[in-house]
Amino acid sequence: MAKLLEMPKLSPTMEEGVLTAWHKNEGDEVAVDDLLAEVETDKATMEFRAFDKGTLLKRLVADGATVKLGQPVAILGAPGEDVSALVAKAGGGPAAPAPTPPKAAAEPSPLSTTMATPAAAPSPITEAPEAQRVPPRAPRSGGVLDRTAYAPEPVAPADGGTGRVLASPYVRKVARERGLDLRGAQGSGPGGRLVAQDLDRLKAAASPEATAMVRAPISTLQPPGPALGEPEARPLSMMRKTIARRLTEAKQKVPHFYLHVDVDPKPLLELRERINQELAESTGDGGEARASTKVSVTDLLIKACALALVRVPECNASYTDEAILVHKRVDVSVAVAVPDGLVTPVVRNADQKTVAAIAREVRDLAARARTKKLRPEEMQNGTFSISNLGMFGIDDFAAVINPPEGAILAVGQVRDEPVVEGGAVVPGKRLGLTMSCDHRVVDGAVGAAFLAELRALLARPMRLLTG
């Protein structure tokens, strides 16, 4: 008997997915665990495999379609079986892929609706009577901000189209004294009424230079340079939608505070050089072998943070409404930049692994993250995070906490600075570390204690090889 195949939950936080590619065509035989399609979720590109056997009688969604969790995507049954009732139940034939967002001009933003001129309406500049053509209103008049200078629509003529000038006796008197003709002038007051602030503008408009500008062809009034093009509309990927939602929730619900320290990275850099030299010698002269085992500053910091978390377990914790969970495991999440945004694969039990093992694991996780081949469980349940932007030339920054973790360490670049040693100023190096803490979990003194332990480990980094 034919049955509907529904979009399964391929990650714990999945609510919808993009069916990027079918691997079975209509009429193909399907066995249990056969790969039916690939689905881009909020975490990675996952495999959608069959739970039953039969013939794929109908595909209900097309490649590239966004599908809600539990939505029918296909019909599986016996060859030749009538599936019209199931097709009707599912809502018809193949769903079209997600449409490309319209160009900004087709659906204007709130800003563009006030600034753009409808295509069907005549331009007030090119088709207005010549008597109404005046240069742009100066934003200030008499030292007072003229808010009407930024009005989204052209103001009405002062005579309201009747030939009668709308102005107070005082405004008329000042206009006569200045030799200004108010007929056909535009007013910025209610109903197009001329007010005192308009007179300075009209005086400027009556000057020979302004008159020449008003009568000039529109092409000569445009500023030099290329015309502004329309923005490129880039569709939101599932990952980008999830990043936007989670980071918004994190900043709105998690009370962040920040602790910053500068450390001397020289001992750490010297240790890294020694480790890489020994690894290169142990793997022979092949450049490829050396590259595969090379240790980075991030690898050493993962190990250092893991040991510091063991010594200050209050930072290895998460907040819940019922209790603070102090974890007995040290699982360090590492921020990895990918084309669609950012993922955080987890190095499990980092305190128990060697630096070389951490280096190999981080490279494997990062490579699979960039090809969307990470499994959901490899990106979940971390207890602490590290984000390093030093390779991009960033001195220091404050990262957003990755809930439900209680803290994240932001790492900047190693920078050259003059430092004081033995009472003398000498060339030195500094590394900026900024810790973002969830104040519901980590108090200031606890965060400071963690950074003190971390600084001590980095000052004597040989302990990273024996701890």
Residue in 399, 270, 355 with CA at minimum distance from that of residue 363: 355
417 strand-pairing partners: 428
Question: Distance between CA atoms of 383 and 402, rounded to whole angstroms?
Answer: 9
Angle at 185 between CA 184 and CA 186, to 5 degrees: 120
Torsion of CA 310, 314, 317, 322, to 10 degrees: 140
The pLDDT of residue 450 is 98
45 and 35 Cβ atoms separated by less than 8 Å: no
CB 343 within 8 A of CB 430: no
Euclidean distance between CA atoms 45 and 37, whole angstroms:
10
3-state helix, strand, coil split of the chain in percent (to 5) is 35, 25, 40
How many whole angstroms separate alpha carbon 373 and alpha carbon 396?
A: 31
What letter represents residue 452's amino acid? A
Between vectors from CA 345 to CA 339 and to CA 348, what angle results, nearest 5°? Answer: 165
pLDDT of residue 23: 92
Q: If 0-12 CB within 10 Å is exposed, 13-18 middle and 19+ buried, where does residue 231 land?
A: exposed
Q: Write the burial class of residue 207 (CB in 10 Å: 0-12 exposed, 13-18 middle, 19+ buried).
A: exposed
Task: Label the pairing between strands 140-141 and 72-77.
Answer: unpaired
The confidence score (pLDDT) of residue 167 equals: 76
pLDDT of residue 207: 61
CA triplet 325, 328, 334: central angle to 5 degrees? 90
pTM over 0.75: no
Token digits of residue 350: 């980092």
Q: Is 99 helix (H, G, I), strand (E, B) or coil?
A: coil
pLDDT in tens, the chain (467 residues): 888 899 998 877 788 888 888 999 998 999 988 999 988 887 778 888 988 889 999 999 998 888 898 899 999 988 888 888 888 888 755 544 544 444 443 333 333 333 333 343 434 333 434 444 444 444 444 444 444 444 344 444 445 445 567 777 777 777 887 788 877 777 877 777 777 778 777 777 766 554 444 444 544 445 555 667 888 888 888 888 888 988 999 999 999 999 999 999 999 999 999 999 988 887 555 544 444 579 999 999 999 999 999 999 999 999 999 999 999 999 999 999 988 888 999 999 999 999 999 999 999 999 999 888 898 899 999 999 999 999 999 999 999 999 999 999 999 999 999 999 889 999 999 999 999 999 999 999 999 999 999 999 999 999 999 87
Of the candidates 70, 56, 59, the one whose C-alpha atom is nearest the C-alpha of residue 2 is 56
Is the distance from CB of 258 to CB of 439 less than 8 angstroms? no
Query: How far is 205 from 225, CA to CA, in rounded Å?
Result: 26
Three-class SS of residue 413?
strand
> What domains sit in the chain, N to C, each tagged with a CATH number?
3-90 (2.40.50.100), 136-212 (no CATH), 238-466 (3.30.559.10)
Q: So what's the pLDDT on residue 135?
A: 43
- What integer pLDDT is reported at residue 180 of this predicted model? 81
Whether 39 and 7 have beta carbons less than 8 Å apart is answered as yes
Q: What is the pLDDT of residue 123?
A: 40
> Which structure tokens are listed for 442?
């980590």
State how far the alpha carbon of 397 is from the alpha carbons of 149, 258, 261, 393, in Å.
40, 10, 12, 11
Q: Which residue(s) pair with 332 in the sheet? A: 347, 384
Dig out the tokens for 51 from the structure: 């739970």
Quote the tokens at residue 380.
Answer: 């979940």
| DSSP structure class, residue 344 | -
The CA-CA-CA angle for residues 385, 365, 367, to 5°, reads 125
- Please list the active-site residues: 439
Residue 206 C-beta-side C-alpha neighbours within 13 Å: 14
